[in-house]
């Protein structure tokens, strides 16, 4: 190892101790090499399955179970893209179903899941994660053999595992899905036909899922405008713990820790940081409890970084504080706007 003071790497990192003594890569510091290595592993992982292509067939009947923001947006996207002329919305509340039909997110409504599923060419389950496994059981008993089924749950491992227990006796072809799009708003009135456009949907086949099933479900989500990635259910849950589930916990904690007398002084920073805390508490409790280990691991990593910042503050170490904040800024800037 050789010290290389007074120089910068190709992205502006200061080159000090730890610079590899390699003439082949003189402009890359260890941090860059670590990042590039991680990026390579991630890209190689995502390339295990080719990107899904939009389906090119008309679906006579699409059934959407749960006609809130996500389910309603599925219905609107299907209709606006002319993928189907018949979208049946299924739910328990007649009032909610009437609202969904009034908003144009579905063409028909039903409170009879089995009857609707029996007519489906594809069923999309867009309810809270706690309800999905049992709903899949009901749907599978009612669908015609070979019917496609997917879901929009924010966790995947437990849902897919429940389905896999009886795979050999299944009538339907289920492949888990998670459109990473949404809002803190709720109900069919919040639905949008372009909600999935340009957004990522993760499709999570199991090791026993036929490739054709995964491709068809991926193609369905791609047809709604999504960019589709495929990964295992556990990989999905691990990544989403870091990018969605743990951030929700932090947003809720910040909102709860803000003294009432300070609320009149909140501005863009506080509002942007805590916006997702306005999500449905029941829905989020189920998500977090269904992904406990991964969320706990993500929160531990966050706590470790927070401790470093706190230590720098307590020691009045401006240099260290700037370094930590700069690293965080670079990581955030790498994501884009």
Each residue of 139-185: pLDDT tens digit? 999 999 999 999 999 999 999 999 999 999 999 999 999 999 977 67
Res 58: pLDDT: 85
Res 110: pLDDT: 97
Contact between residue 89 and residue 106 where contact means Cβ atoms under 8 Å apart: yes
Residue position matching structure tokens 């930590």: 324
Tell me: the pLDDT tens digits for 12-61? 443 333 333 333 443 345 444 444 444 444 444 443 444 567 776 789 99
CATH of 62-231, one of 3.40.50.2000, 3.40.50.10860, 3.40.50.720, 3.40.50.300: 3.40.50.720
Res 184: pLDDT: 67
Could you give the count of Cα atoms lying within 13 Å of 334 in the half-sphere of its Cβ? 11
Res 282: pLDDT: 94
Res 336: pLDDT: 84
Res 271: pLDDT: 95
Res 156: pLDDT: 98
The full set of domain ranges for the chain reads: 62-231, 237-257+265-335
Q: What share of the chain is helix, strand, coil (3-state, %, to 5)?
A: 55, 10, 35
Contact between residue 133 and residue 158 where contact means Cβ atoms under 8 Å apart: yes
Res 51: pLDDT: 57
Spans of the chain, pLDDT less than 50? 1-28, 30-50
At the topology level, CATH places domain 237-257+265-335 in 6-phosphogluconate dehydrogenase C-terminal fold (1.10.3660)
Q: CA–CA separation, 3 vs 20, rounded Å?
A: 9
Res 53: pLDDT: 72
Res 185: pLDDT: 75
Q: Which of 196, 256, 253, 259 is nearest to 228 (CA)?
A: 196
Query: Which residues share a beta bridge with 110?
Result: 90
Res 200: pLDDT: 95
- CB burial of 114-142 (b: ≥16 within 10 Å; e: otherwise) equals eebbbbbbbbbbbbbbbebbebbeebbeb
In total, the chain counts a number of residues equal to 337
Burial class from Cβ neighbours inside 10 Å (0-12, 13-18, 19+) for residue 104 reads middle
pTM over 0.75: yes
Res 37: pLDDT: 45
Pairing between β-strand 176-179 and β-strand 173-174 as defined by DSSP bridges: unpaired
Could you give the count of Cα atoms lying within 13 Å of 273 in the half-sphere of its Cβ? 14
């Amino acid at each position: 190892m050789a010290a290389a003071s007074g120089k910068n790497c190709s992205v502006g990192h200061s080159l000090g101790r730890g610079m590899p003594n390699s003439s082949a890569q003189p402009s890359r510091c260890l941090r860059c090499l670590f990042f590039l290595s991680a990026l390579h592993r991630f890209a190689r992982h995502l390339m295990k399955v080719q990107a899904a292509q939009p389906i090119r067939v008309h679906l006579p009947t699409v059934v959407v179970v749960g006609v809130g923001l996500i389910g309603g947006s599925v219905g609107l996207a299907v209709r606006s893209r002319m993928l189907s002329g018949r979208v049946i919305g299924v739910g328990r509340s007649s009032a909610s179903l009437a609202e969904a039909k009034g908003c144009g997110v579905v063409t028909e409504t039903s409170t009879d899941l089995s009857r609707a599923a029996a007519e489906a060419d594809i069923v999309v389950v867009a309810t809270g994660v706690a309800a999905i496994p049992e709903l899949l059981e009901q749907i599978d008993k009612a669908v015609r053999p070979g019917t496609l089924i997917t879901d929009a749950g924010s966790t995947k491992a437990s849902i897919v595992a429940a389905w896999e227990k009886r795979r050999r006796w299944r009538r339907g072809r289920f492949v888990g899905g998670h459109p990473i799009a949404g809002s803190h708003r709720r109900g069919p009135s919040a639905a949008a036909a372009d909600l999935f456009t340009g957004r990522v949907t993760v499709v999570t086949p199991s090791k026993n899922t036929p490739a054709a099933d995964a491709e068809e479900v991926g193609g369905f989500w791609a047809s709604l405008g999504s960019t589709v990635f495929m990964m295992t259910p556990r990989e999905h849950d691990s990544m989403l713990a870091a990018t969605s589930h743990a951030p929700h916990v932090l947003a809720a904690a910040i909102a709860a820790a803000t003294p009432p007398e300070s609320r009149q002084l909140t501005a863009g920073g506080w509002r942007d940081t805590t916006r997702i805390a306005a999500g449905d508490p029941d829905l989020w409790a189920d998500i977090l409890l269904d992904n406990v280990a991964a969320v706990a691991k993500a929160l531990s990593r966050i706590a470790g970084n927070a401790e470093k910042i706190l230590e720098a503050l307590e020691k009045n170490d401006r240099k260290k504080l700037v370094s930590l904040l700069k690293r965080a800024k670079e990581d955030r800037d790498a994501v884009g706007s």
